[in-house]
Structures are given as C-alpha cells and as structure tokens.
Amino acid sequence: MVGEGLLKGILNLLSVAGRLKQIPRTGWVIKAGIGKAESVADHSYRVSLAAMILSDLLGLDTVKAVRIALIHDLAESCIGDLTPQQVEEGLDKSSMEEEVMIKVLQDLPSHVKHLYLEAWRDWVERASSEARLVHEVDAFEMALQAEEYAQSGFDRDKLMEFKRSASERVSSGAVKELIEALG
C-alpha cells in the first residue's frame, strides 16, 4: 500500500495540476480578445501529445520529452499564465516558478521529486534535445491554436502576431515544417 504521506503528495500534485484547467491562456484573452480561451491544461495536453509524436519520429527519449511537456507549465497553477510583457516588466518568473515547483513536489519521495525537478529545470535551461523540442512544440502549439481561432472567426490580424512569434522561436526541421504547413 501507499503511505499516507505519499498519498498526500500525489493528491497535492494532482490538485495543483487540476487548477490549470481553470486558468485561461492570458495572451488569447488580452491580445486577441478571446473570452473563452483555451486553458493552460488544454495547451499542455496538446504540447504533450505533439512532443510524444515528434520525439518518437525523431528518435529522442520520448518518456523524457513527455515528462517535460507535462510539467512545463505546472507552476502556472500558482503564479498564473504570465505574458512575455509581464516578465519584461520585471517579474522574476524563473524564481517564482522554481519556488512553486519545490513546494508542489515537496511531499513526493525524493527520487520522484528529483526526477520532476530535473525535468522542469531541463525545460527552463533547454539543456537536452528533448527540452529544446518541447520548447519548439510549445511555440508550434500556440501557432496551431492561433490558426484554429482564426478559422473560428476571430480577428486573423491579431492572431498573426502569435503565429509570427511562434515561427521566430522554432528552428528545427520537423516543427518548422508543421508551422509552415499551417499557412
């Protein structure tokens, strides 16, 4: 059986992750005027799925890539989905996220906590091929969502900024080809 402390740690982590379902992606709301924007959880799910597919195709460590993708936005459950402009205005997103991640993972066994912190830090530092892929997939998912919003009738001109930004953040072949295929 699982001990009471471990149960608490698992339930806490899942509860924190569950909050992501209630947090809209800020850029869609503020910049594109989309009232019922996708949630951070919606975004993270599709990033994870795309990371799995591309990692398998590219022969990378798919478990590592998916772990990074699943955990990459977890801290936003506590600090919110900060826009690049908020970070440019002086918010220390990295320190805030590090603090949240340590707290959220504190009740897990040390080897699991270490594994998840390592994955998150890999994401932040883009230290591995898998983390770099997930960063590019994160940008691609934003471009894909922008295209879907445009096809749903939202202002294409406002949404082009998101696609342009995503394209600038992507350099690898497969992800670049996916963005280009969006048109």
Give one DSSP letter per residue of 104-158, joined into a string: HHTTS-HHHHHHHHHHHHHHHHT-SHHHHHHHHHHHHHHHHHHHHHHHTTS-HHH
- Examine the pLDDT at 91 and tell me if it is beyond 90: no
Taking only the tens place, the pLDDT of each residue in 31-62 is 999 999 999 999 999 999 999 999 999 999 99
Report the share of the chain in percent with pLDDT over 90.
Answer: 84
DSSP state letter for 89: T
Total residues found in the chain within this entry = 183
What is the structure's pLDDT at 81? 85
Taking only the tens place, the pLDDT of each residue in 9-35 is 999 999 999 999 999 999 999 999 999
What is the structure's pLDDT at 124? 95
Domains within the chain, CATH numbers bracketed: 4-182 (1.10.3210.10)
Handedness of CA 90, 143, 178, 48 (dihedral sign): positive
Q: What is the mean pLDDT of residues 164-179?
A: 94
Amino acid residing at 173: G
pTM of the model: 0.93
